[in-house]
Amino acid sequence: MQEFVSTNVPAHVAIIMDGNGRWANARGLPRTMGHRKGVEAVRGAVKTAAELGIRYLTLFAFSSENWSRPEDEVSDLMGLLKAFIRRDLADLHRENVRIRVIGDRANLSGDILPLLIEAEETTSANTGITLVIAFNYGARDELARAMRRLAEEVATGRLRPDDITADRIAASLDTAGIPDPDLILRTSGEERLSNFLLWQGAYSELLFVPELWPDFTRDTFIAAIEKYAARERRFGGLPQPTLAVGS
């Protein structure tokens, strides 16, 4: 088992969990089995992130574009989300994990929305790692919803156009109150953001690893964090050392 030796731990890591379907296809299994194996990787990632001292872990669980997938696959993904919350919520709460959900909540049907709200409310007072679940999330949609809210405030006279600053926009996003990710990581070897945290990731370090998400282990996570820790962050200016938690 690999041990983590760096002191430069990112405060916020965001992960695009990619490769469940390919993992299953490579083994002659239905795609649903890949998603089920991916849930196990989620549990391991949350545990490892808390162990390393990461304060925020954002997981791209279901994008606003994923509704276009085959109906049976979408149904299975919804079932897995429900099962994860029902099965794991008590454990996460006991481990002091705070859950935050980002994404468009309008028109969510059935018992999905009540479950998401229950997860947030149950863990709202917890002080450990914050697990941010991006569900029915798309960055362009998030920005469009934020712009509409700001436009409505201008139209009613509650806000002047000159008051719309970068900070005001950030405060209108789903991630208000959450620091921007220091590291955005994507599994499966694909090298794109896929409409994920486009505003928040303006100065994030990007890391693309070849492992498919179901194969994302503690050692994979630690190796990724150590690669991050070796980088110099610039934020548009001179090189800056990577920021450690609590620095």
Does some domain include residue 242?
no
The pLDDT of residue 3: 61
Does some domain include residue 235?
no
pLDDT by residue (tens digit) across 199-233? 999 999 999 999 999 999 999 999 999 999 999 88
Q: Which residues are annotated as a binding site?
A: 18-23, 31, 35, 63-65, 67, 69, 186, 192-194, 205
Domain count along the chain: 1
Long-range CB contacts (< 8 A, 24+ apart) of 108-116? Answer: 108/136, 110/78, 111/82, 112/78, 112/81, 112/82, 115/81, 115/82, 115/85, 115/86, 116/85
Does some domain include residue 8?
no
Known catalytic membership, residue 66:
yes
Does some domain include residue 177?
yes
Does some domain include residue 38?
yes
The pLDDT of residue 247: 41
Domain that holds residue 162: 15-228
Which residue out of 66, 104, 126, 195 is catalytically annotated?
66
**Token digits of residue 210:** 């070849």
Does some domain include residue 3?
no
Q: Where are the alpha helices (DSSP H) in the chain?
A: 20-26, 31-52, 71-94, 112-123, 139-155, 166-172, 218-229
Separation CA 45–CA 47 (nearest Å): 5
User: Which whole number is the average pLDDT over 6-24?
Assistant: 92
Residue 144: helix, strand or coil by DSSP? Answer: helix
Cα dihedral 41, 19, 199, 56 in deg (nearest 10): 10
CATH number at residue 48: 3.40.1180.10
Known catalytic membership, residue 76:
no
Separation CA 172–CA 141 (nearest Å): 13
Does some domain include residue 240?
no
Q: Which residues are annotated as a binding site for substrate?
A: 19-23, 31, 35, 63-65, 67, 69, 186, 192-194
Between residues 185 and 72, which one has the greater pLDDT? Answer: 185
pLDDT by residue (tens digit) across 56-108? 999 999 887 777 777 777 787 787 888 888 889 999 999 999 999 999 998 78
Separation CA 58–CA 77 (nearest Å): 18
Q: With 70 as the cut, is the pLDDT of residue 243 above it?
A: no
